[in-house]
C-alpha cells in the first residue's frame, strides 16, 4: 500500500501558507481524482483509493507541523505501513520557490516537521518530496515567513509545480520510487533542453 503524507498545519488560517505546501499538493491530487478526506483513527485525515490497480492512501496530519511525527507514527502503526512505501511531502526554505527535490533519506534540513518525523520513526530512511518556498526573509524572521501566504506573483509557478508534484505522486503510486525518480529525471532533462 503506497502511503503519501503531506505535512502542514490544520485550519483555515494556514490553508495557503508556505508551510502548508504538503497539504496543498495532496489536496490537489485528491481534487484531480475526486477524492474526499475523512477523519482517521489517529491525529490525521485520510482518503484511500486505487490508481491503475495500485492501492494508496493520502494523509494530512492534524498535529500541527512541529508534531507531525506523532501522526506519521500512528499512520504506520494503524495501517501497518512499511517505510519504503511512504512518500512525505514538505516545504523547503533552502530551495527557490517552485523548485522540487526528491530525497530517499537524509536529515531534516532544518525543517521541524521532518525533524519530528525522523525522531518518532527513529529513522531518516524514507522518501521525501521537498518543495521550495524560497527564503525571502530577514534573519530571525523565518517562522513568520513560512506562515505567510505565497505572494500573488508566485502563484503561477506554484500551480505549475503543484501539478507536476501530483504527477510525481501518480508515478510513485503506480510504479514505486524508481518510476517516480525516472519521471522526475526525464522532466528535468526536458526542461533543461527547452531552455537551451
pLDDT digits (tens, 9 = 90+) for 116-132: 999 999 999 999 999 99
The partner residues of 87 in beta bridges, in order of sequence, read 4, 127
195 pLDDT band (50/70/90 cuts)? low
What pTM was computed for the model?
Answer: 0.96
d(CA 61, CA 71): 6
Q: What is the dihedral of CA 131, 134, 139, 140, to 10 degrees?
A: -40
pLDDT attached to residue 196: 53
Q: Which domains, and CATH codes, for the chain?
A: 2-194 (3.40.50.1470)
pLDDT over threshold 70, residue 2: yes
CA distance 21 to 30: 14
Q: Which residues pair with 11 in a beta bridge?
A: none
- What are φ and ψ of residue 159, in 5° steps? -60, -45
pLDDT tens for each residue of 17-70: 999 999 999 999 999 999 999 999 999 999 999 999 999 999 999 999 999 999
pLDDT over 80 (residue 194) = no
Give me the active site residues, please.
Answer: 19
- pLDDT, residue 136, reads 87
Residue 120 gets the label, from left (phi > 0), alpha (psi -120 to 50) or beta, of alpha
Q: What is the pLDDT of residues 137-146, one digit of tens each?
A: 988 899 899 9
Write out pLDDT tens, residues 64-113: 999 999 999 999 999 999 999 999 999 999 999 999 999 999 999 999 99
Whether the CB-CB separation of 144 and 92 falls below 8 Å is answered with: no
Amino acid at each position: 500500500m503506497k502511503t503519501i503524507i503531506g505535512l502542514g498545519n490544520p485550519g483555515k488560517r494556514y490553508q495557503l501558507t508556505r508551510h502548508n505546501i504538503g497539504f496543498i499538493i495532496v489536496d490537489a491530487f485528491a481534487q484531480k481524482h475526486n477524492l474526499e478526506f475523512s477523519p482517521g483513527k489517529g491525529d490525521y485525515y485520510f482518503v484511500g483509493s486505487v490508481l491503475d490497480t495500485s492501492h494508496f492512501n493520502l494523509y494530512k496530519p492534524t498535529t500541527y507541523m512541529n508534531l507531525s511525527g506523532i501522526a506519521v507514527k500512528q499512520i504506520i502503526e494503524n495501517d501497518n505501513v512499511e517505510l519504503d512505501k511512504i512518500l512525505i511531502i514538505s516545504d523547503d526554505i533552502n530551495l527557490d520557490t517552485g523548485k522540487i527535490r526528491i530525497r530517499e533519506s537524509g536529515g531534516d534540513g532544518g525543517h521541524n516537521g521532518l525533524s519530528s518525523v525522523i525522531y518518532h520513526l527513529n529513522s531518516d530512511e524514507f522518501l521525501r518530496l521537498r518543495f521550495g518556498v524560497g527564503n525571502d526573509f530577514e534573519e530571525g524572521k523565518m517562522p513568520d515567513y513560512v506562515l505567510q501566504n505565497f505572494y500573488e506573483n508566485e502563484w503561477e509557478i506554484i500551480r505549475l509545480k503543484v501539478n507536476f508534484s501530483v504527477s510525481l505522486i501518480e508515478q510513485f503510486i503506480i510504479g514505486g520510487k524508481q518510476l517516480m525518480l525516472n519521471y522526475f529525471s526525464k522532466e528535468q532533462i526536458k526542461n533543461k533542453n527547452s531552455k537551451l
